């Protein structure tokens, strides 16, 4: 049965093994984490005063890249909101700024309408204002998904590799050749050769060098995942949300199939 074994669980980083799964399932989970889990990002900016050296568009683009702490239960997707997508406190939040130079504007200088909703990092430089320059803006954030625009991705890194199955049979004479050729130190000699398949990059040097032909490397049904969050939400939450989204998609698919009369 397919299951998940966690190797590392930080707020920002998750390392886990997806056991006994197909490549299609592993890839669906990866794609769902990157492109289907919604997070907040700046999507619209009103410029009241901008006498900086930067065009409005350049500043708006930089703001869109700043990750925002996202509590999903708190906001609706704008298309599903009671306001019919016009924009209301249930589906968007404003960040205001009014600063005069000379000084550097940081992400932490923005004042959010909702104290719980703020940029993840307060020390990201946005632009430098020189003497006599002013920036007065209102930036509006809303929920979106990575499929729509990469600024809505909750993860900065999200990848997996197939964990190889390394088998050594009785023909092994403990010559240790595989230990010396392996660039990833997968093999260790104790009473017998012990393998650590998580570090293997499938280069097959061990198979080529083994004169006894005692080594076999093949693909297993296990996948090693590494997920790094942008900070918008904990990495484990991204995984849980992705699996929930896949479940509901699968249920809808089954429902549609059941409705087909042949
Ligand atoms: Zn709304």
CA of 87 to the centre of ligand 1 (A): 4
Strands (E), 52-186: 92-100, 103-106, 111-112, 125-129, 134-144, 155-168
DSSP label at residue 68: B
Structural fold of domain 3-36+156-226:
Gyrase A; domain 2 (3.30.1360)
Pull the structure tokens for residue 47: 């410029």
What pLDDT does 115 receive?
86
pLDDT greater than 80 at residue 204:
yes
In CATH, the architecture of 39-151 is Beta Complex (2.170)
Listed by start position, the domains of the chain span: 3-36+156-226, 39-151
**d(CA 172, ligand 1 centre) in Å:** 67
154 CA distance to ligand 1 middle (Å): 21
Dist CA 161 CA 26 (whole Å) = 9
Q: Tens of pLDDT along 37-80?
A: 999 999 999 999 999 999 999 999 999 999 999 988 889 999 99
Burial class (CB in 10 A: 0-12, 13-18, 19+), 73: exposed
Task: Express as a percent the part of the chain with pLDDT over 90.
Answer: 75
Cα 44 to ligand 1 centroid, rounded to whole Å: 15
pLDDT digits (tens, 9 = 90+) for 71-125: 888 899 999 999 988 999 999 999 999 999 899 999 999 999 998 899 999 999 9
Per-residue pLDDT at 154 exceeds 90: yes
Instruction: For residue 118, report the distance from its CA to the centre of ligand 1, in Å.
Output: 19
Give every CB contact of residue 122 below 8 A, 6+ residues apart in sequence: 106, 107, 108
């Amino acid at each position: 049965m397919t299951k998940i074994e966690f190797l590392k669980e930080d707020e920002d980083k998750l390392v886990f093994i997806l056991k006994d799964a197909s490549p299609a399932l592993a890839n669906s989970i990866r794609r769902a984490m990157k492109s289907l889990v919604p997070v907040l990002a700046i999507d619209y900016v009103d410029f009241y005063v901008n006498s900086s050296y930067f065009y409005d568009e350049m500043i708006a683009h930089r703001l869109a890249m700043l990750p925002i702490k996202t509590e999903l239960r708190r906001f609706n997707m704008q298309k599903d909101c009671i306001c019919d997508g016009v924009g209301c406190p249930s589906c968007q939040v404003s960040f205001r700024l009014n600063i005069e130079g000379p000084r550097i504007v940081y992400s932490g200088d923005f004042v959010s309408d909702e104290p719980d909703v703020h940029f993840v990092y307060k020390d990201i430089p946005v632009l430098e204002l020189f003497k006599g320059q002013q920036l007065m803006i209102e930036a509006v954030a809303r929920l979106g998904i990575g499929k729509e625009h990469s600024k809505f991705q909750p993860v900065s890194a999200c990848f997996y590799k197939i964990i190889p199955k390394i088998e050594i049979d009785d023909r092994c004479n403990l010559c240790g050749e595989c230990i010396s050729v392996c660039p990833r130190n997968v093999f260790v000699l104790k009473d017998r050769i012990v393998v650590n398949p998580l570090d293997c990059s499938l280069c097959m040097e061990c198979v080529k060098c083994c004169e006894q032909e005692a080594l076999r490397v093949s693909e297993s049904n296990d996948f090693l995942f590494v997920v790094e969050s942008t900070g918008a939400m904990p990495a484990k939450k991204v995984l849980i949300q992705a699996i929930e989204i896949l479940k509901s998609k699968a249920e809808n698919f089954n429902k549609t199939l059941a409705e087909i009369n042949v």
